[in-house]
Structure 1
Amino acid sequence: MNTPAETAFDREHDPAPVPEPRDWNPLPARARPLFLLGGAISFGGLGLIAGSVAGLVAASEIDQWPRLYVLIAAIAAIALPAALFGVWFGHKNHRFTRWRLDGHGLAVRRGRLWQRETRVPTTRVQHLDLRRGPLQRRRALATLVVHTAGTAHSSVSVPNLDLDDAEALRDHLGRQIDHDDD
């Protein structure tokens, strides 16, 4: 399905050893539409609510035009730019999300101007989940959820990873859990 050049792990070799420390791995390009769609739905939905409220207020004050026209115009004037902003935000979110696995554990970096880096040491991993929605399955993507010990921020998710990378990360981090139990 994917060539080794498309994934961060080479499945031909044993994924058990800790991989060589690499630069930060980007999310696959085929994940971009999911980020764009998610941003458009999130911000467009907020714009729809704000536009509805603004339209109802404006419709009650303006008597020159039918209320339905005022409501539709207000919704369109707010919801469409909000959805376009969501598309832009989703593009930036995809572009500036990176992950890395090294000898210390999994690290996830998000953002450009305000970078947020989360590191999960392998000794803190409790269990792992792979989640795949219908759109992710169509694009051979998965979300890896790493549950850690502790209460605050006790899970870290890496959305829309290449399926092979997500499975390799799960297998590698899962082996560390098995070794810790011995």
Structure 2
Amino acid sequence: MSDTAAPPPLPPAWSSPAAPAAANADWQPLPPRGAWLAALGGALATAFPFGFGFGFLALVSKLASPWWVAPAAALIGAGLGARLAVKRHRRTFWKLDEEGFALRRGRWWQVESRVPISRVQHLDLKRGPLERSARLSTLVIHTAGTKLAAVSVSGLDVDDAERLRDLLARQLDRNDDAL
């Protein structure tokens, strides 16, 4: 028998809607109200490259009237970027258990990051003006190591992000005391 007491059980899924059937019940989705913020970021990130790239191609290929190509391409790029960002937001899940924090993204190319408690250095919460208006937050978990020096989860509910930060900090303190 060990001298240390078992850690307290983790709380059930907090106020997040149920995950899709494809996702495990332990995995929590990001709140749907953050999809518009993801769409805005995706639209801005793709509108300018599409507009500039296709505008440049129109000038180089000497189209008869290239003035309409850049704005049209920017609009198409913004729509495509927004759609992809919303899909990515909907396919992002997180999980906290006794071993640490896990983040899963994607459908075709799935990426799953796992941060063991022993690797957590410190935790940050970031809230920009748009995130604050939607009651969202970004949790940044700084880790020991060089490959993934930080794991960032944007679009978390403010209450979930604060609870995650506090639970990870307490688990980290418990593990430090056990050493």
TM-score by length of 2: 0.82
- Deviation digits for residues 16-67 of structure 1 (CA, Å, limit 9, x no counterpart): 8341685210100110101111111111121122123123324xx34xx5xx
Aligned to 1:112: 107
* Paired amino acid for 1:163: V
* Paired amino acid for 1:146: I
Per the TM alignment, residue 90 of structure 1 is displaced from its structure 2 partner at its CA by: 1.0
Q: 1:20·1:102 contact (CA, 8 Å) conserved in 2?
A: no
Unaligned runs of 5+ in 1: 1-15
Per the TM alignment, residue 160 of structure 1 is displaced from its structure 2 partner at its CA by: 0.9
Please give the alpha-carbon distance, in whole angstroms, between the structure 1 residues aligned to 2:26 and 2:151.
Answer: 20
Please give the alpha-carbon distance, in whole angstroms, between the structure 2 residues aligned to 1:133 and 1:71.
Answer: 38
From the two aligned structures, give the one with the greater helix fraction.
1
Residue 17 (structure 1) aligned to one of 8, 24, 33: 8
Residue 148 (structure 2) aligned to one of 148, 153, 178: 153
How many aligned positions are there? 159
The equivalences for 1:31-180 within 5 A come to 31-58=34-61, 61-62=62-63, 65=64, 70-180=65-175
Please give the alpha-carbon distance, in whole angstroms, between the structure 2 residues aligned to 1:134 and 1:158.
Answer: 17
Q: Which has the higher contact order (CA 8 A, sep 6+)?
A: 1
The list of structure 1 runs, each at least 4 consecutive aligned residues, that deviate by more than 4 angstroms after superposition, is none
Change (3 A) 1:51 1:18: farther
Please give the alpha-carbon distance, in whole angstroms, between the structure 2 residues aligned to 1:28 and 1:123.
Answer: 28
Please give the alpha-carbon distance, in whole angstroms, between the structure 2 residues aligned to 1:106 and 1:44.
Answer: 34
Of 83-92 and 21-30, more deviation after overlay is shown by: 21-30
- Could you tell me the percent identity over the aligned residues? 49
3-state DSSP of counterpart to 2:121: strand
Aligned to 1:6: none
Please give the alpha-carbon distance, in whole angstroms, between the structure 2 residues aligned to 1:162 and 1:172.
Answer: 15
Aligned to 1:10: none
- Deviation digits for residues 91-147 of structure 1 (CA, Å, limit 9, x no counterpart): 111110000101111100000111110010111100001010100000111000001
* Paired amino acid for 2:126: R
Unaligned runs of 5+ in 2: 1-6, 13-24
* Paired amino acid for 1:173: L
Q: 1:55·1:73 contact (CA, 8 Å) conserved in 2?
A: no
